[in-house]
Homo-oligomer: A and B are copies of this chain.
Amino acid sequence: MFSCVQMNTCAMVLLLCGAAVHSFRFDELIKYVDDHQEEYVQTLREWVAVESDSSDVTKRAELYRMMDMVGEKLRKMGGKVELVDIGEEQLPDGSSLALPKVVTAQFGSDVNKPTVCVYGHVDVQPAQKEDGWATEPYNLTEINGNLYGRGASDNKAPVLAWIHAVEAFKALDMDLPVNVKYLIEGMEETGSNGLDAMIKSQKSTFFSDVDYIIISDCGWLSKRPALTYGTRGNCYFFAEVEGPKQDLHSGVYGGTVIEPMTDLIGILDTLISPSGTILIPGIRDAVAPFSDEEWKMYQDIEFDVESYREKIGVEQLMYNNKVELLAHRWRHPTVSIHGINGAFSAPGTKTVIPAKVTGKFSIRQVPDMDPAVVEKQVTDHLHSVFAKRKSPNKLKVKMIIGAKPWLADIKHSLYEAGKAAVKRVFNVDADMIREGGTIPIARTFQDVTEKSIIMLPIGGFDDGLHSQNEKMSRYNYIEGTKMFIAYLQEVAQIKKD
């Protein structure tokens, strides 16, 4: 496994090497970025002003406009741009609606240089001022160095930072150290509908000359810059218990039928213990052992458990020490029960015996768990505990999502390049972190294109993704742009090693 000493030595070598070759011109690029930061903020403001909410079909025109703006921006920079049609989505009412086109762009095609492909998205989560925003969510507002607006951090500023990085080279008439491709989509927030098929279909065209894929759709863990090398997978289950033909009045019928809700509550209660141990037999057997090296690496990560606890607002976390907490956030599985469909869920009172209820829960899984095995373990377990209840109701268990975890080799040169770029711009060692969540596109890129992938975040740890008052700090936005420039230079060194 990974060794810290080795990493730092290696990073220093790259750093010195990069510094020797490009130091002067790098300074010029840095100056260019600093000089143009107001312009960058203004462009972000224009992008945030577009309500590109992919979950709201009534905003679809805005989303189309957003994709056009991305294409136009890249075209003006001299890129070879395409807006790729990825088909339609079926709406619940039976009608269909065109998916926003995927923007691809290419800068440079020098066969002697490596080619990176930057992935990003410009659609956003829903937002309304009434949800509790302090500012208008679609009007980028700067307060104390933070740029508040929906999509600022997720993912418009990182996409723009990547665009501005290349733009700086262009503006200064410098050769790009690597060929740069972009793949920018508009359906990420609702599951990247259409993207998997597009990636598969372009495997031997757009992706044929791509060496590395860069994803900047996540955030740091603390104020210290970080590189992300793993995400958890997600097995999402529906457990449906069906009883009477239709909902019954609980006064009139209560006491004469075994209620589906009682059964569902009963089986959901067998998934996880009060202290957080997964109770599904066998499910933890496949979890990769937590090595001493990992333990040591986790120990060195900058992370304040107490701040984390306070931010979440609970009296006590599931684990109190940093290593255990991070391990259970990133590299151990967990069960979350999200809710129940078909039962009474509104405020107020309703005296109903719901006839059919569907419990929804998911298991975040980690290497070396296999979704197919998890599916069988969960299904067998639930049917077994349900059978013991001797209920006349019917249970159906379905796995709705079976997204695999993703894990990169942190000793890969891509990560060494990342460490060097962070060191150059921020003058600190990057934390090597993982994501508790799932970024399915990483796994798709890995499985379909078989290219190496790095997650290179510039978002802050407290950016409030998907929440009210999402923000991107001006510092992260501008310094992140510089780090991307440095990264392009570092990646260019890889072939020389």
Contact = CB atoms under 8 A, between A and B. Distances in A.
A343 B340 CA distance: 7
A62 B349 CA distance: 25
Interface stretch (A11-19, A22-30, A31-39, A265-273): A265-273
Interface string A221-237: 00000000000101010
Interface in A259-317: 259, 261-263, 265-266, 268-269, 272, 274-276, 308, 312-317
B274 A255 contact: no
A251 B435 contact: yes
B312 A245 contact: yes
B257 A437 contact: no
B253 A436 contact: yes
A172 to B, nearest CB: 38
Given A243-B314, A343-B345, A336 B274 contact: no
Contacts of A272: 262
Interface stretch (A78-86, A97-105, A389-397, A418-426): A389-397
Contact of A257 (B318, B343, B346, B351): B318
Given A262-B337, A389-B274, A332 B255 contact: yes
Contact of A250 (B316, B336, B344, B346): B336
Given A232-B251, A436-B251, A257 B312 contact: yes
Contacts of A391: 274
Contacts of A325: 256
A437 B251 contact: yes
Interface in A382-426: 388-393, 400-401
Contacts of A317: 256-257, 392
Interface stretch (A199-207, A352-360, A441-449, A482-490): A352-360
A8 B334 CA distance: 67
Contact of A244 (B245, B249, B266, B312): B312
Contacts of A261: 336-339
Contacts of A344: 338-339, 341, 360
A13 to B, nearest CB: 35
Contacts of A249: 437, 465-466
Nearest to A346: B341
Please classify how large the interface on chain A is, using the bins under 10, 10 to 19, 20 to 34, 35 or more: 35 or more
Query: Which of A255, A259, A466 is packed against the most chain B CB atoms within 10 Å?
Result: A255
A467 interface: yes
Contacts of A389: 274
A467 B436 contact: no
B274 A262 contact: yes
Given A244-B313, A253-B312, A265-B269, 20 more contacts: A249-B437, A251-B437, A251-B438, A255-B318, A255-B328, A256-B312, A256-B317, A256-B319, A256-B328, A257-B317, A258-B276, A258-B314, A258-B316, A261-B338, A262-B272, A262-B335, A338-B343, A339-B345, A341-B344, A350-B360
Interface of A: 232, 234, 236, 243-246, 248-259, 261-263, 265-266, 268-269, 272, 274-276, 308, 312-319, 325, 328-329, 332-341, 343-347, 349-354, 360, 362, 364, 388-393, 400-401, 435-438, 465-467
17 contacts: A249-B437, A254-B334, A254-B336, A254-B364, A255-B332, A255-B333, A256-B312, A258-B276, A258-B318, A261-B336, A261-B337, A274-B388, A315-B393, A317-B392, A338-B349, A338-B353, A339-B345
